[in-house]
Structure 1
Amino acid sequence: MKGILSLLRTKPRKTQPASPHHTDSMLFASAFAHQGVDDEMLVPWEARAVEVGAQRLSAHRGGKLLRHLWAKDKYMAQLDKGALARVERFFEFATIAAHRDVIRQDEYGNFLVVVLTGTMAIDRIQPWGKQRRLAEAQPGDMLGEMSLLDSGSRFSACATLTPCEVAVLSAEGMDEMMNEEPQLAASLVTLLARKLSLRLRAVSANLSDNQE
Structure 2
Amino acid sequence: MPDPTYLNNEIRDMLMDCGLFNQLLPADFAAASGYFIITSIAQGEEIFHEGDAGTFMCIIHRGTVTVRKTGADEQPVDVASLRKGRAFGEMAVLDGERRSATCVAASDCQLLNLGKDSLDKMLNDAPKIAAKIIRALAVSMSKRLRMVDGQLLSQHP
Mark the runs of 5 or more structure 2 residues left unpaired by the alignment: 1-6
RMSD (Å), alpha carbons = 2.3
The equivalent position to 1:94 in structure 2, one of 13, 24, 39, is 39
> d(CA) in 1 for partners of 2:145 and 2:104?
19
1:186 CA displacement = 1.4
Please say if 1:68 is aligned against 2:13.
no
SS at match of 1:78: coil
Contact 2:64/2:84, CA 8 A, preserved across alignment: yes
Deviates more, 1:127-136 or 1:84-93: 127-136
Residue of structure 1 equivalent to 2:89: 144
Contact 1:67/1:85, CA 8 A, preserved across alignment: no
1:207 CA displacement = 6.8
SS at match of 1:109: coil
Bigger CA radius of gyration: 1
1:59 CA displacement = 4.2
1:183 CA displacement = 1.0
1:202 CA displacement = 3.1
Contact 2:63/2:109, CA 8 A, preserved across alignment: yes
> d(CA) in 2 for partners of 1:99 and 1:208?
34
AA at the equivalent of 1:67: M
Residue of structure 2 equivalent to 1:120: 65
Please say if 1:186 is aligned against 2:135.
no
Would the alpha carbon gap of residues 103 and 206 (structure 1) be closer, same or farther in structure 2, given more than 3 Å must change? farther
Contact 2:48/2:102, CA 8 A, preserved across alignment: yes
SS at match of 1:159: strand
1:205 CA displacement = 5.4
Contact 2:68/2:77, CA 8 A, preserved across alignment: yes
> d(CA) in 1 for partners of 2:104 and 2:43?
8
1:206 CA displacement = 5.1
Mark the runs of 5 or more structure 1 residues left unpaired by the alignment: 1-57
AA at the equivalent of 1:136: S
The equivalent position to 1:85 in structure 2, one of 2, 17, 30, is 30
Contact 2:12/2:29, CA 8 A, preserved across alignment: no
Deviations for 1:74-93, whole angstroms, at most 9, x for unmatched residues?
xx201122212211111011
TM-score by structure 2 length? 0.84
1:158-173 map, 5 Å: 158-173=103-118
Residue of structure 2 equivalent to 1:135: 80
AA at the equivalent of 2:87: M
Deviations for 1:74-114, whole angstroms, at most 9, x for unmatched residues?
xx201122212211111011111110000211221211011
Residue of structure 2 equivalent to 1:105: 50
1:204 CA displacement = 5.6
